[in-house]
Structure 1
Amino acid sequence: MEDKKGLCGVTEENEVEVGAGQDKPPTQGNAPPRWANGQCVLAVQSSSMLNPSFDLSFCRSLLERDGFQIPVGDFEAPLATALDAPSVRRFIVFNTSLFHFILAPVMYVVIWCAVFSTLHLYMAITDYWLLCLSVSLIAIFLTTGVIFVLHHSNKEINMNIDVRLIQVNERMVKHKLLVGVADWVQNCTGALQLFCVYWDMSSCLQTLTETFEKSFLANDAQEKLQKRLSHLVLVSEVKAPDPEAGGCSTGEASGEERPLLGHEETERSTPSGRREDAKITSSHTLIPDPALPAQVKAHQLLVTYSAAYVKLLMSENLSGPSRHELLPRRNHCSSASLCLCQYIKAKVLR
C-alpha cells in the first residue's frame, strides 16, 4: 500500500500544519475552495491503535481553516455518538488490518499444532518430514482462507462503523463533505484515520434519480434493493414516550423529512410502577420505502453507502468498471475508477 500522505495531507493530532505533500487549492475569503469530487480535504490519524479516538474539535478547526464552516452539531456531536462508544472502539481494534496482520501467524501456529497432533494421534506415519510438510500446507491453506474472508468483509458496508456514520454524512453532505474511517498496514505499523472527502452530491443524485424514474426498471430496482439490503437492519432500545406528554408527535413526520436512521416501534416494555424506565425495542431497515419519490430513494442510497465508499476510496480498494458497464463519461470523480453513484449501481442495482 502506497503512502497516503501524498494523496491527502495526513495530520497528526498534535500537529498544527497539514502535511507538505498536499497541494491545497487557494481559499477565497470565507467560501470553500474549488475542490474536486473525491479529493481528500482532511485525514487525521488516531492517537492510538489500541484505543482509537480522534480529536474532533481539532478536526473541525482544520476544516474551518480550509473554508468549511461546519457547526458542532453537524460534525463533532454525531461523530462522537457514532465512534466513541466502547463497543465500537473494541470492534474497530479487532477489525483493523494490523490485528489481522498479527492474527495470521498466530492462527497458522494454532492450526499447525492442532492438525499435527490430530494426525499424529490417529495415523501411524514414520516419515515425520512428510507429516510436517502436509500439516504445513493444510495450515497455510486454512489460514489464507480465513484471512481472505476477513479482508473481503472489509470491502463490504460495515454495520458497526459505516452504518453508524450515516447520521454524520446526512449532515455533512450539506457542506459537500463525506466522512469515512479507513486503515491499513504500512511498514508493520497500523494506521487508522478519519477522512473528510469533498463530494458534491448533485450529479450523482441526478444520475441515480434518473435510474429510479425509468418505469421499466423501477420494479426491478426495488426487488434488487430488497435482496441486497435485507440484512441491514438496525435494532436499538430507546426510552418510551410519555403518553401524557403527547410523545407520539415525532412519529407524524413524513418519510421524506424523517432522518434515515429513524426508529420504528416493534415492542413495548412497561415495568409496573416505573414508567421512567420503560424501554421500546426499535428496528429500522435501510431499504428505501417504495412509496417514496425517486429522488428521495436515490438520496437515501447515496448517504447509506457514503462512508463505505470513502473507506474504499481512501484505501484504494475500489474495483474499476468492466469493459461493457458504467461508461467513463458518467464518472463524477476524476480521481477514482468509480464515482459514488456508479459504486451503488455496481453493488446494489446490478
Structure 2
Amino acid sequence: MAYKSQTGGIEKNSSLPSIFCCKSDLNEGSLQWAKEPLNGQVLMVLSMDNNCSATSFDMELCAEKLKSLGVQVAVDRWSRLIQDAVLKPEVRRYMFYNSRAFQIAIAVIFYMSLWTNIYSTVQLYSFGHYWEVSMLVTVAAVAVTVVVILIIDRRQRKINVNTDVRLAAVNEIFIKHSLILGITDVLDGPHNVLQLWFVHFSPERCLQSLSAHLADLQRKRESDLRHSLDQLCVVMETAVQPDPGKAEQVSSEESPLLSSGVNLKKEPMTCNELLCLIPEGPPEVMAQQLLVIFSGCYVRLLVSGQLPQALAAGHMEHRKVPCLCQFIETSALNTRQCWFMGR
C-alpha cells in the first residue's frame, strides 16, 4: 500500500499548482479540482517508503484517480511498466544509494575523513598553535566538501539513465493522455520516501516546435545534431547465439572421456551492445522520442524546483520555467542557451 506521510511533496513545492494529492491518508472530500489543468500542473502524487522492501505504490487508488481524470488505460499495462521501471529490488537499491539521505551520510563521512587526514598531515610539521591548525584544517575540509556536494548536485540536474529513462515506456503511454511521470525522493524523518508524480502536460505544441527545430538542424547542422543524439545511449547486455556447427564441434572436443556424474550448466555468453535511444528518422519521430525520454527528468526537476528560469516564453505561460521542448533543446541538443538564466 502507499506509504502514509504528510503532504510534504506538495507543501515543499507550494509554487507548483496541483489538482489533488493522491495518497491513502487523504479523503475524497479534501480533493481540490480545477476545470482546465495547465501545463506543469501536478495532478497526483503516489508515495512509498523505500526503506521497506515490502511496500509499493497504491496502484488501485491510482487507477481510480486516473479514471476520474478520464484516462482510460488498462491497469495491468501501465502498472507492470511502473513495476519494471522503479520497483525492482536492484533499482530501489540504486535509488536509495542516490537518495538525499545517503548523500548526507556520505558527505558527513567524507568531511570527517578529510579533516582527519589533513590534520594528521599538518601535524607532521610544526605550524602555528593548535587552534590555528584546527581552524585551517576545518576551513579546508569544509571547502572541499562543499565543492563535492555542488558537483553531485549539478550532476543530479542531468538526465539519469537508471531512473528517468526507465520511465520512458510508461511515459510513452501516458503522454498520449497529456500526462507525464517523474520520480523523486524526499526525507520524512528517518524514512527515505519515493514519490511518483503525475503532471499534466499537453505535448502538441512542444512536439511541433521541437520537430521544426530538428528539421532546421538536419538542414544546417546535421553533424552537430548527430553528435548530440549519439550521447543518448544505453549499454544493453545481449545473449550471443553461437553457430550450431561450431558449438557442436567445441562441445564434442571439450566433453570429458569419463563422466563425472555432475551436470555443469554453462552460463550463456553475453556481450554489451551500445543502443542509441534516438535513432535516425523523420523529425516528428525523433521529436516524439525525445519528449518521451526526457519527460521523467523534466518532471523530477520541475517538482523539485531545480529548473532554471526561462528568459523566453515557452508553453508554460503560468510559470517562468522552460517548457519540455525548451529543456530538450538546451540540455540534449545544446542549442538556445540564451533561453535560460543562471546557466
Same fold (TM over 0.5): yes
Kept after mapping to 2: 8 A contact 1:176/1:201:
yes
Return the letter of the residue paired with 1:113. T
1:284 counterpart = 2:295: no
Q: Give 1:234's aligned residue.
A: 234
- Answer whether contact 1:172 1:178 (CA < 8 A) is retained: yes
Equivalents in 2 of 1:304, 1:202: separation in Å?
16
Superposition pairs of residues 1-350 of structure 1, within 5 angstroms: 3-4=12-13, 7-8=17-18, 9-12=20-23, 14-15=24-25, 17=27, 20=30, 23-25=32-34, 34-49=36-51, 51=53, 53-120=56-123, 122-185=124-187, 190-214=192-216, 217-219=217-219, 221-238=221-238, 277=268, 279=270, 281-289=272-280, 292-322=281-311, 327-328=312-313, 330-332=314-316, 334-349=318-333, 350=335
Structure 1 49/224 Cα, relative in aligned 2: closer, same or farther at 3 Å? farther
Is this contact kept in 1: 2:49–2:193, CA < 8 A?
no
Label 1:312 to 1:185 Cα distance change in 2 as closer, same or farther (>3 A).
same
Moved more, 232-241 or 190-199: 232-241
Tell me: CA distance 1:145–1:70, structure 2 relative to 1, closer, same or farther (3 Å).
same
Q: CA RMSD in A?
A: 3.2
In structure 2, the CA distance between the partners of 1:149 and 1:185, relative to structure 1 (3 Å rule), is farther
In 1, Cα distance between the equivalents of 2:161 and 2:181? 15
Q: d(CA) in 1 for partners of 2:28 and 2:241?
A: 47
Deviation of the 1:199 alpha carbon? 1.4
Contact 2:186 2:193 in 1 (8 A): yes
Task: Give structure 2 stretches of 5+ with no counterpart.
Answer: 1-8, 245-249, 253-264, 336-343
Give 5+ residue unaligned stretches, structure 1: 27-33, 245-270
CA distance in 2, matches of 1:82, 1:287: 19
Scaled by the length of structure 1, what TM-score is found? Answer: 0.76
Q: Mean Cα displacement is larger for which, 160-169 or 229-238?
A: 229-238
Report how far residue 311 of structure 1 moved.
0.6
Q: Secondary structure at the match of 1:235?
A: strand
AA matched with 2:25: E
* Corresponding letter in the other structure for 1:117: S
SS at match of 1:11: coil
Tell me, in whole angstroms, the C-alpha distance in 1 between the residues paired with 2:114 and 2:106.
Answer: 12
Q: What is the CA deviation profile of residues 29-69 of structure 1, one whole-angstrom value per residue up to 9, with x for unaligned ones?
A: xxxxx422211111111223465742334322322233222
Name which of structure 1's ranges 72-81 and 188-197 shifts more when overlaid on structure 2: 188-197
Larger-Rg structure: 2
Paired residues, what number? 305
Distance 2:29 2:228 in 1: 40
Asked if the contact 2:96–2:192 (Cα under 8 Å) also holds between the matched residues in 1, the reply is no
CA distance in 1, matches of 2:286, 2:157: 23
Q: Tell me if structure 1 keeps the 8 A contact 2:59–2:79.
A: yes
TM-score when scaled to structure 2? 0.77
Residue aligned with 1:192, SS = strand
Residues 1:171 and 1:47: Cα distance change in structure 2 (over 3 Å): same
